[in-house]
A and B are shown apart, each in its own frame.
Chain A
């Protein structure tokens, strides 16, 4: 009952401060998110996905914004449309008709509705054909909702082939030629294939300000001939959108959500472990230093002073440059470098005061050993005083880990917030205007720091009566 009451009272005091309530709610949300990540998405899988390379994510758009961006910008940006002959769909029709001998005629129609107000970011077609010696030959047609029909290209297919419409030079020339003829221009204009393929053909197509997206049902038609009996073609059309998921994608088409999700438990565990371990170790060292005094004290204080003079961050940078190690080894290095930190000095001052308390002398008088006095009489009294500092320093260590990752010195495997910022900076995200890429991990870092700061400041008020509000 007393314990229960004490906890109840402590919670009551904490909730008296609305800032702490906000901090706790924020922290609980972050912790919930971290737990969800850990249970729903195994770390090995996350690392494998994160490091999988572009092939795995070929169906994702590059530099896609998160889907919720429309809440702020409005509009209806395109989502990715994928159609494939291997999937069952009313919109995909494949007809193979024998013509003569081993030869047969093939026609594949892929229809899709396009009702967005922006162009897709890319259009790719992937072919997968089976044959022994004679390659199939096909033609790719594009039929707009207004009935305009363009033959884009004829291709002699390899076993695995692709047609990147957006970057194909022949297509670009062809489309320019068509525009020139239809509009009676003197020379063929430069026109983005997506813009041509998704707009009505008129004067407006030349002016990016006036051009509109043509909504309706589009058809990709592939016709051609197979020259062998068992020959076949599978086709996949990907019309890449401009938004993806709840976190968007990066330059390698990876969903940023992987790193945003796994960054949370990593940041929390790194920050909390570092803060708590360093706080406790510093306190124990300070207690030993103050209690034993004399040479032990001198030695510990000199080590601390030397350690305080040495620049922490540059040394950490140097070590991480020489040895690329995992985040947990990094944690150990951080603990080792901070063990004799400033805390040793300030806690020692508290212990020196406490050492003179009558109950410590009483403990000596009934035979308590030095270690018992340190751990049973000195530390329990100081512990509540250092908890606010510990909580506040969690944010420091979360930032420290991120800072190392931003500089490219973090764990090379771990998908972390800092790593996302590092990728973004290396790709010039801010220069190119992909703000979401930097803002997502950065705002999570800031939110984490704020939650710990709010709680820490409140604890400080509770444990330090001079700061207490009524």
Chain B
């Protein structure tokens, strides 16, 4: 690990509370359960998991859109786990959020200029002219040029890709240190995905942004993330440098994910892919021990279903949480 530590998350827990029925008790959806992760300044980290694995909740908890139940979030040397009001506002200035759905992420009644000015106004950055200059700069940055053509338009006049560019521009306009991109391209046409990802990469490189890229699509991670974390049912199960994890997956779930990647070889079109049996578990009442054990082909009875696996290091940077690997290394 090189560079300065930007974000350090330890033992993070975030449960959603639901009530069932009029007199029913409380239930918890254990969306994020005991997650540790680190991010260096200017580093891009990908968090990969299927729908319902809690990756979006993880991102929003780090952004403090949710208050964590337990654990610690250290950002830039400050503990931001339970900060409030002024301090939280300051934290919000230093973080950016790119949402999944660009069509819903922009207020339909504001012009692009108003949308981009909002964060600046909220944080009282600059004078009117300086703000406008910043808006121009941000729009140039996301290559919505000539800026004059876009600045007074309303979101519905733009295409999905252009809207997502505005969302990205908004997320970086306050010069944040950390941007969390929650499936930024999943709602877009395949044709513009790569463009948007390249754009994010160039911005990340240019400003030395720390980016957490949340996605269900392993194939898009290679564009700019140097490290990858695999999430399953509220927990991280494997992590390491992108190439290492993709070419040498250890955790059975990671292997399934890589197996499921589309194969461009036409000869393989009738080959039945190896997919894990069953469904992801309910997070209200997740399996004890390793959460993957009910679907795992390498399940060790009496161990995997009883005890939660700890960190096992494959090498210095690559770790996995798996009893089978631990026992058979």
Contacts and interface: CB of A to CB of B under 8 A. Distances in A.
B119 A359 contact: no
Contact of A366 (B96, B108, B109): B96
A367 interface: yes
Nearest to B93: A367
Given A365-B97, A366-B97, A359 B122 contact: no
Contact of B104 (A2, A359, A377, A380): A359
A184 interface: no
A363 interface: yes
Interface in A341-385: 357-359, 361-369, 372, 376-377, 380-381
B65 A366 contact: no
B105 interface: yes
A367 B152 contact: no
A366 B104 contact: no
Contact of B122 (A357, A361, A366, A380): A366
Q: For the side of the interface on A, what is the size category?
A: 10 to 19
Contact of A359 (B63, B95, B107, B174): B107
Contacts of B63: 365
A369 B122 contact: yes
Contact of A367 (B100, B109, B122): B122
Interface residues of B, number: 28
B150 to A, nearest CB: 13
A368 B95 contact: no
Contacts, number: 60
A359 B123 contact: no
A376 B109 CA distance: 10
Interface in B78-111: 88-89, 92-93, 95-97, 99-101, 104-109
A358 B104 contact: yes
A358 B104 CA distance: 5
A367 B91 CA distance: 8
Q: Which of A367, A380, A381 has the most CB of B within 10 A?
A: A367
B105 A359 contact: yes
A450 to B, nearest CB: 32
A28 to B, nearest CB: 29
Given A358-B101, A361-B99, A366 B119 contact: yes
Given A367-B119, A368-B122, A362 B89 contact: no
Nearest to A377: B107
Nearest to A383: B109
Contacts of B4: none
B104 A357 contact: yes
A362 B174 CA distance: 14
A362 B109 contact: no
A362 B122 contact: no
B326 interface: no
B170 interface: yes
5 contacts: A362-B99, A365-B63, A366-B93, A367-B88, A380-B109
Given A367-B123, A372-B122, 14 more contacts: A358-B104, A362-B105, A362-B167, A365-B65, A366-B92, A366-B93, A366-B119, A366-B122, A366-B171, A367-B89, A367-B122, A368-B122, A381-B107, A381-B108
